[in-house]
Structures are given as structure tokens and as C-alpha cells.
A and B are shown apart, each in its own frame.
Chain A
Amino acid sequence: MSRRLSEVFLQAKSANRAALIGYLPAGFPTVDASVELMNAMIDAGVDAIEVGLPYSDPLMDGAEIQFAVDLALTTGTTTDVVLDVVGRLDGTRAAVLVMSYWNPIERFGVERFAKHLAAAGGNGVITPDLTPEEAGSWLTATRAHGIDTIFLVAPSSTDDRISTVVKNTSGFVYAASTMGVTGARSQVGAGAQALVARTQMATDLPIAVGLGVSTGAQAHEVAAYADGVIVGSAFIRCIRATPDLPAAICAVRALADELAEGVHR
């Protein structure tokens, strides 16, 4: 287990706020730009960065993230490149996570991936299509290298499932706010709060809510009941709306500022 993530959540808690976690795919819109954009997010006060590993078949993602990872793949963002991006982020000021579908990790080599990620300064991995039942070798490898394994709970998860999931999770639990794919929504799923409450019954781990959060107001609403707030598609949308990298950096900073303000209780 990496201590980095628990530190981040503890620090946020002692400042009476939720932790803010920002997602961006490595290689979007280019490899170098993605590094700059993520470091800008860290400057603006994001507590943890989720580096997306682009995958050809992102079946849990909506249109915004599909667009971004498609572009990242066409610019040659391989697993090696993603690990390199991880190493170029300012890990002293934020925890660094990777978000990856399972096949690229399996193909890279489960043990090898955990080892290389640790060497690059990564602290944990979110695996949206891996559940603990299929994660035997992954749990062994990540433990050996001090990498946190973040699994998801969903509104449809039974209490039994939640307890299975949290037993195998470290760092924090990812609570999917809604039954659906990633993407900004006008409202955060009404079931999110109930899911967080059910998950709290099963674990002392911090719980972060993702899917659909895009504004400071939504972040504020979620921060009232969760330990962390995860924002992804909204960053991609704001980057796509800008003409060039300097403008994108400004826009990302502004959104991260707004969200960082929002997570204060």
C-alpha cells in the first residue's frame, strides 16, 4: 500500500474539505501538452491526478473521453509513454494514479506494470473493468510494489458486493455516482449519497465520488458527504473548447480553481 493516497485524504480532511481528483488521458491533446495540463491542475490545487491510459475499447466511457483517448492513441500514446508521463508529473504536490482498462495492463505484464509504475512515482491504479474476483495476480503484484488498487462500487452493488470490493481496495474507494458511463451531467446521480453511506458502513477507507461532476457547485454538493470528488470529462470539454495550449492551460486552471473552491465544506 502506498501511504501517499492516505496522506492526501488526511490532509484534505484536516483542512475541512474533500480531496479533489482530476482525470486526463495521457497524450491528449499531445503527450507534452497532457503533462503541462496535468501539472497546471496540480498548481491549481488538485490533490491527486488520474492519468488515463488510452485504450481502443473504452466501454465505460462517454463521448468526451472516447474522443480524447482516440486522439491520444493516434498520437502514439503507448503504455511506455503513459508511464513516462507519470514520471513527469509533480508528485511532490499531488498523488499520481493511473486509470486503465485491464487488457493493456495484462498485456504489459501485471508484475512489470506494477513495478514500472512504482519506479515512475505512481501511487495507485483505478481499474474500471476489473473486479476483485479476477484480480488475484494484480493484488499480489501491486502489494509487492506499494501500489494502491482502487476498485469501484456502483449504485447497483449489493451490500455483500460492497464488502468484497472494499476488502480488496486500498487508498480509496471509487463510488460511481450513477448507473452509466463517464460524462458531465447537469446533476450528480441522486443515488450517490446513499451509495457512499452504504460503503461507509463497510469500510474506513476514504470514499471518492466520480461520474458526472463538472462544476464547483456540484463538487460542493458531493464534498458534503464524500471524502473525495473526481472530475474527468469536464476537463476534456474545457480543453476542447480552447484554440491552443496556453488557452487550454488557463481554462484548466480556472476549472480546477473553481472545483478546489467547491470541495471546501
Chain B
Amino acid sequence: MPTSESAVTSGHFGPYGGRFVPEALTAALDELDAVFRSAIIDPDFIAQLTQLELSYTGRPSPLTRADRFAVHCGGARVYLKREDLNHTGSHKINNALGQALLTQRMGKTRMIAETGAGQHGVATATAAALLGLECTVFMGEEDTRRQALNVVRMQLLGAEVISVTAGSRTLKDAINEAMRDWVATVERTHYVLGTVTGPAPFPEVVRYFQAVIGREAREQIQLAEGRLPDAVVACVGGGSNAMGLFSGFMDDPSVQLRGYEAGGDGVETGRHAARFAAGSPGVLHGTRTYVMQDEWGQTIPSHSISAGLDYPGVGPEHSWLHDSGRAKYEPVNDDEAMDAFALLSRTEGIIPAIETAHALAGAIRVGRELGSDAVIILNLSGRGDKDVATAARWFGIGAPEGIEMVEGR
């Protein structure tokens, strides 16, 4: 059974993970591994990171009890871990700041990043501005349209945004393009991967920087309830916000770990991003994990209303948690997610990111399953400002005169 400690053996999580990359990147990954391992035992590094979390990100993020929303969750007590209140509006900043500090430690001057929803791109651009580093962000053309607000934010922060027109023009293709840039510029460039996937040591590095979510939530729930939760719930794109929350409870067998992936139009339609429901183990973007692939091992493009969950792979540790049964994963379709999006907005006054809305739909299911005695923590991974145009279209809300709506999908 996976635990927080047993996880990594030379970059593997059970049969998953590893490093499937061109030889040219091996040296850079080895360097990252060495610098990461020396940093996390260096009190100066930890102090620097903690100071940024406190004074810049605004940590700890609150744990908000959501009673009006909880009415719809079988009456369970539902708590929201408010990563939406972080500077830049999502959990992505936790990892971006951490890796930006590693970039400096490696003596590199440029960061590149892939982004789907744009939140990781914004977080990396922000960290780059703060630390005086160059920044280039790769984003699928499809995503630059549906998350146009974040494209502008990145540009305002001084980053260069490259719109990727290869393949399905979404997150998967942005990662390919970032890797291609990295191979050619690796001497001065660090690739700030935005989620717990990719070649070792990325899954471990990103989990480390996101683990602050689970650590805080564990303390906060014990203060609020005097006990551990029955379930912790998160949406799973690559899986970084989920891994951050789960890692705080990995060694508590009484706490169920629940992840929600994008069911898109429905798993049966083939238009989804449900790696666990409809994928199989394979290798994508440098790691062995569950992948949406055809019988020949070609990647099948994913679909989701949520750009941040629209990815045909998933972090390798999740694959291991899945196979071992320690965590459970289910798909949530677009319409169920959007219902939950509306519900949270109207019951709690919090407009969530559409990614997060998948976790909200999951919490409704879990609450109904576990009943009114249950305590549930949900990772509110991000705020919904970036999704306003998509939501307006979905709900048929017209734009008032004089307000230009940016075309979503």
C-alpha cells in the first residue's frame, strides 16, 4: 500500500513513473534532482520558501466551512480548502514559487512552462517577475481562446506566451513544445512543470511544493472538528492539487482519498479526459502512467470544458494510488460540473474554477454516500474569474451592453 514515505524508489511509484526522455535531458533532470534534494534539507531554502508563502502567497489558506453548499451533500460537514485565495488565484503558485527558487539555485536565468487553464502559466510568470527571471509560457491555441484572460495576465507580467498550433492545440501539445524548447535551451533554462507528472524527479518535486495544502488542512480540520476527515476530495488534471491535499492524509487509512477527472461529454461518447475510467497504462511525457491511447499506443486527444483537466495523461503516483485502491477516481461530466459550479456560487458566494467544479460535484456524491456524520475536505483549487466567459455561454447569460465577452468554447 502506498504511503507518504514509501513512494519513491529512483523516481518510480510502484510500476509507474520513471524517466522516458531524450538522453539530452538526463543531465538537466539529474541536476534538478540533486539541487532539489539539497534544497529541502537546507534551512535557508526552507525559510525563504516559507517566507514567500506567508508574505506573498498569503498562506496559510483558510479552511472554510460551507454549510449552505453542504445541504446538497447529504448534510455532511463540508470544508473548503481555499487555494482560490492564494495570490494569482489557485494552488499553482505553491509549485511555481518553489521551482523558481530552485531555478535560482541552479544559476539559471530563464523559466519555461506549459499551461492549460493558464493558472500555472500565470503563477510561473508571477514568480519570474518577482525573482527577475525571464519567462516563456507554452499554451495550446484552443486554450488561449477559452482562457483569454490569463493570456493577458501573463503578458502583463512580462512573460512571452507562445500559442501552440500542433496536434490537438491543448495542454498535451503545450507540454511537447515546452520539452522541445527545453532541450535546446537547457543550459540557462529550467522547465517549471506545472503538475505531478513528467519525468522523475518532477512528480516528486511538484508534490513536495503542493504538500503544504495537505499539511495545513490536516491541522485546520483537527482544530475545527477535533478529528480527521472521512474523505478528502480534489479534481485531477495532472493531479497536483489532489496530490497536495492527499499527501497530508496518505498515512491515515481512515481517510478516503477521492479524485475526480473530467468526464467531458460522457465517457461513453469518447469525448472526455477520463484516464482511469477509459485509459490504460502507457508512457506519455516522460512517465509511465494511465494514458488515453488507442490500441497502437497513439495518444487519444482529450476533451473537457475545463482546460486544466483536458489532458490525456495523469501523474504517475495517482496511477499507483488507483491500482492499489488507496485512492478512488471517478469521472464527472461537463454538465454535472457546471451544475456544481452554479451551486457553489449561489450557496457560498464563491465562484470556483471550472476545474474545481469537478471536485465540487465529487463532494456532492461523496457526501450523499457517507451521510450527515461525515466530515469532508474539498480542495478549492482555484477561483473562477478566468472562466466567466465560458460559464456565461454555458448558462446563456448575455453580456451587458458595452462589455465584450471573450469567446469561450
Closest-CB distance, A264 to chain B (whole angstroms): 30
28 A-B pairs with CB atoms under 8 Å apart are A57-B167, A57-B299, A78-B296, A102-B283, A103-B297, A107-B293, A108-B297, A129-B20, A129-B21, A129-B283, A131-B20, A133-B19, A134-B18, A134-B19, A134-B20, A152-B22, A154-B22, A154-B24, A154-B26, A154-B27, A156-B25, A156-B27, A161-B27, A176-B22, A179-B186, A180-B24, A181-B180, A181-B184
Choose from A102, A103, A161, A181 the contact partner of B183 (Cβ within 8 Å): A181
- Complex Cα gap A79–B22 (Å): 21
Mark interface residues in B174-198 (1 if CB within 8 Å of A CB, else 0). 0110011001101100000000000
- Complex Cα gap A229–B351 (Å): 58
Closest-CB distance, A70 to chain B (whole angstroms): 8
A151 at the interface (CB under 8 A from B): yes
- Complex Cα gap A155–B27 (Å): 10
Could you tell me if A129 and B284 are in contact, using CB atoms closer than 8 angstroms? Answer: no
Could you tell me if A131 and B296 are in contact, using CB atoms closer than 8 angstroms? Answer: no
A11 at the interface (CB under 8 A from B): no
A217 at the interface (CB under 8 A from B): no
3 closest Cβ contacts across the A-B interface?
A107-B297, A154-B24, A180-B184
Chain A residues proximal to chain B, CB less than 8 Å: 55-60, 62, 66, 70, 73, 78-79, 102-108, 128-131, 133-134, 151-158, 161, 165, 176, 179-181
B49 at the interface (CB under 8 A from A): no
Could you tell me if B21 and A131 are in contact, using CB atoms closer than 8 angstroms? Answer: yes
Q: B interface, by DSSP: helix, strand, loop or mixed?
A: mixed
Given the interface contacts A57-B285, A78-B296, does A157 sit within 8 Å of B184 by beta carbon?
no
B345 at the interface (CB under 8 A from A): no
Could you tell me if B297 and A179 are in contact, using CB atoms closer than 8 angstroms? Answer: no
B158 at the interface (CB under 8 A from A): no
Closest-CB distance, B27 to chain A (whole angstroms): 4
Choose from A105, A106, A107, A129 the contact partner of B286 (Cβ within 8 Å): A129
Give every chain B residue within 8 A of A103 (Cβ-Cβ). 282-284, 291, 293, 297, 299
Could you tell me if B296 and A79 are in contact, using CB atoms closer than 8 angstroms? Answer: yes
CB-based nearest B residue for A63:
B166
- Complex Cα gap A106–B296 (Å): 9
Give every chain B residue within 8 A of A73 (Cβ-Cβ). 298
Choose from B19, B24, B284, B295 the contact partner of A57 (Cβ within 8 Å): B284
B44 at the interface (CB under 8 A from A): no
Could you tell me if A156 and B28 are in contact, using CB atoms closer than 8 angstroms? Answer: yes
Closest-CB distance, B312 to chain A (whole angstroms): 9
CB-based nearest A residue for B281:
A106
Give every chain A residue within 8 A of B24 (Cβ-Cβ). 152, 154-157, 176, 179-180
Mark interface residues in B16-53 (1 if CB within 8 Å of A CB, else 0). 00111111111110000000000000000000000000
Q: Interface residue tally of chain B, by bracket?
A: 20 to 34
Give every chain B residue within 8 A of A102 (Cβ-Cβ). 20, 283
Could you tell me if A104 and B298 are in contact, using CB atoms closer than 8 angstroms? Answer: yes
- Complex Cα gap A248–B210 (Å): 53
A-B contacts counted at CB < 8 A amount to 109
Give every chain A residue within 8 A of B21 (Cβ-Cβ). 129, 131
Give every chain A residue within 8 A of B92 (Cβ-Cβ). none
CB-based nearest A residue for B180:
A181
Choose from A59, A70, A104 the contact partner of B297 (Cβ within 8 Å): A104
Could you tell me if B296 and A59 are in contact, using CB atoms closer than 8 angstroms? Answer: no
- Complex Cα gap A66–B167 (Å): 9
* B287-304 residues at the A interface, CB under 8 angstroms: 291, 293, 295-299
Could you tell me if B296 and A107 are in contact, using CB atoms closer than 8 angstroms? Answer: yes
17 more CB-based (< 8 A) A-B contacts, given A157-B23, A176-B24, A181-B184: A55-B297, A59-B22, A60-B180, A60-B183, A103-B297, A103-B299, A104-B296, A107-B297, A129-B20, A133-B19, A154-B23, A154-B24, A154-B27, A155-B24, A157-B24, A161-B27, A179-B186
Give every chain A residue within 8 A of B318 (Cβ-Cβ). none
CB-based nearest A residue for B291:
A103
B172 at the interface (CB under 8 A from A): yes
Could you tell me if A108 and B296 are in contact, using CB atoms closer than 8 angstroms? Answer: yes
Closest-CB distance, B68 to chain A (whole angstroms): 44
Give every chain B residue within 8 A of A152 (Cβ-Cβ). 22-24
Give every chain A residue within 8 A of B25 (Cβ-Cβ). 156
Choose from A60, A62, A78, A108 the contact partner of B22 (Cβ within 8 Å): A60
Could you tell me if A157 and B27 are in contact, using CB atoms closer than 8 angstroms? Answer: yes
Mark interface residues in B121-150 (1 if CB within 8 Å of A CB, else 0). 000000000000000000000000000000
CB-based nearest A residue for B176:
A59
Give every chain A residue within 8 A of B285 (Cβ-Cβ). 57, 59
- Complex Cα gap A127–B180 (Å): 17
Closest-CB distance, B369 to chain A (whole angstroms): 35
Give every chain B residue within 8 A of A179 (Cβ-Cβ). 24, 183-184, 186-187
- Complex Cα gap A133–B29 (Å): 14
Given the interface contacts A56-B167, A57-B167, A107-B296, does A180 sit within 8 Å of B19 by beta carbon?
no
Could you tell me if A151 and B23 are in contact, using CB atoms closer than 8 angstroms? Answer: yes
Could you tell me if B23 and A153 are in contact, using CB atoms closer than 8 angstroms? Answer: yes
CB-based nearest A residue for B27:
A156
Closest-CB distance, B76 to chain A (whole angstroms): 41
- Complex Cα gap A158–B23 (Å): 11
Closest-CB distance, A183 to chain B (whole angstroms): 10
Give every chain B residue within 8 A of A176 (Cβ-Cβ). 22-24
- Complex Cα gap A65–B295 (Å): 23
Give every chain B residue within 8 A of A128 (Cβ-Cβ). 22
Could you tell me if B23 and A131 are in contact, using CB atoms closer than 8 angstroms? Answer: yes
- Complex Cα gap A155–B28 (Å): 12
